[in-house]
A = this chain, B = another copy of it.
Amino acid sequence: MNTSFETRPVPPPMLAALAERFGDRCSTALALREQHGRDESPFDVPPPDCVVFAESADEVALVVGLANEHGVPVIPYGAGSSLEGHLLAVQGGLSLDLTRMNRILRVDAEDLTVSVQPGVTRKQLNEELRHAGLFFPIDPGADATLGGMAATRASGTNAVRYGTMRENVLGLELVAANGERVRTGSRARKSSAGYDLTRLIVGSEGTLGVITELSLRIFPLPEAVSAAVCFFPSIDAAVQTTIQIIQLGVPIARCELLDANSVRAVNHHDRLGLREAPMLLMEFHGSESGVAEQAQTVQEIAREFGGEDFEWATTPEARTRLWTARHHAYLSALQMKPGCRCVTTDTCVPISRLAESINESVREVEEAGLPYFIVGHVGDGNFHLGYLTDPAMPAERELAEALSARMVARALKLEGTCTGEHGIGLHKQGFLVDETGEAAVAMMRSLKRALDPRNIMNPGKIFSL
C-alpha cells in the first residue's frame, strides 16, 4: 500500500466558496472529517479536509467543478461500509457525502425497473418495493447505499441467481470529473448503443466521477420461498455439495457457507442455537412445486457428501432471522475477539476450484494459529476468510497479510480473482497487477487519465497514476 502520496488540501478560496454555497452543509469539524475518512477497512484514518453534504446532482456538479478547477480530490461517501480503504483521504481533499440524496425517484413495477438517488440504501429500497410485491436482490452485508454498491460492483447472497451490480444497473447519471453531467444506458433491458459506459462506471470505485442517479432492475417476489440449513461433517463436504448444485444447473437463489467459527459467532450475536458445524444456508425461489423440486434435488446431493437432513425456516420471520444473522456474521465474528481488527479476503474462483481454494486456506490459517472465520457466497465460487488480529501486535497483522497474499496467489493460479465483490481500493493494488497484468492496468490508467486528467476523483484508489 502506497501511502506516500502528495496531499492536495482544499485551498482557502475554495473552502470559502463551498462555505458560502453550502452553509452548515460544508464542515471542517474534526470528528465529522474523521468519521468520513474511516471505513470498515483495517487502515488508519487520513481524514479529508472538509465534508460537503450534497442534496442534488446540480450541487454535486458544482462541487466537482470547483474541485477540478482547484485540482482537489473528491471522495464520494455513502454508508461508509467499504472494506478496502476506498474512503481514506490519502491525498487530502473533500469528502462528498451523498446520503441526503436518498430519494426513490420512480418505481416502474410493470417494467421491473426503479430509479433511485445514490444515497438510497438497499434496505430502504426493499422496504419500498415489498408493498408492490417486488425486491432488489443485491445485498452486501452492510446496509450500503446503492451508489456505493455500484461503485464497488457489489454482490452478496443472491448473486448466484440474480447477478451482481454489474448485471442489475441498467443505466446511471454521472457527474464527470470536469463537472459535466453524463447519462448512460436507458431503461431498455439490453442495448448495443456504443461503449458500455454504465459498466465502465460500475466498479470504478469513485475514480471516474460521482454517480448521481441509478436505474436498476428489480424482480417480482417469488411465488414461493423456502430457506433451509444443512450441516456437514466438514467444510469440504459443504463445498463439494455446492459444486454439484451449480454444475447440475439447479437455480438456487442463495447458497452460503458458514464455517463452525462463523456459526459460533452468529449464535452468540443473534442467539440462534445452531449446531456449531460447517453449514450451508440455502434459499429456493420459484413456484411451490419448483421450490419443492429444487430442495429435493439439493437434499439428495447433500446426503451424498454426508450432509444431514435440512432444517427448514418455513415462516418469513424465521427466514429473516437466519438471513439477518448471516448478514451480521462479519460483525459477530469481530466480537469473538474483543478489540480485534479484521483482514478480510475476497477471492473468487471457478466453481470446480473452490474446494482446493478453501481447503488450502483453512489448512494454512490453522497451521498459523490465528483466529479466523469463513463466510462464503460459495455458489459463485466466492468466500471471505477473516483473520482476526490484535492491533497491539503488529506481527499478527503481518501474518494475516502474508496468509492473505498466499490465498490470493492460489486463487489467481486457479484462474480466479483477488476480489469477487469488495473492490481493489488501497490494499489490493499489487494483486490487481498480479491478476490482470501490467498491460491491462496500463489500459485502466489510460482510461482514468482520459476521463479525469487532473486526477481529482478518489485518487490513489485501484492504482496510483
Contacts and interface: CB of A to CB of B under 8 A. Distances in A.
Interface centre among A195, A200, A352, by most chain B C-beta atoms within 10 angstroms, is A195
A157 interface: no
B190 A155 contact: yes
Contacts of A381: 188-189
Contact of A196 (B166, B348, B428): B166
Contact of A197 (B152, B351, B444): B444
Contacts of A176: 439, 443
A421 B439 CA distance: 30
Interface in A195-217: 195-197, 199-200, 202-204
A111 to B, nearest CB: 4
Contacts of A248: 220
A461 B134 CA distance: 40
Interface residues of A, number: 91
A424 B194 CA distance: 6
A158 to B, nearest CB: 12
Given A111-B351, A167-B167, A197-B440, A192 B203 contact: yes
Interface string A247-259: 1110100000000
A202 B443 CA distance: 15
A53 to B, nearest CB: 25
Given A188-B350, A449-B450, 15 more contacts: A110-B243, A153-B190, A159-B190, A167-B167, A176-B443, A187-B415, A189-B380, A190-B382, A191-B348, A191-B417, A193-B418, A195-B447, A196-B199, A286-B290, A447-B451
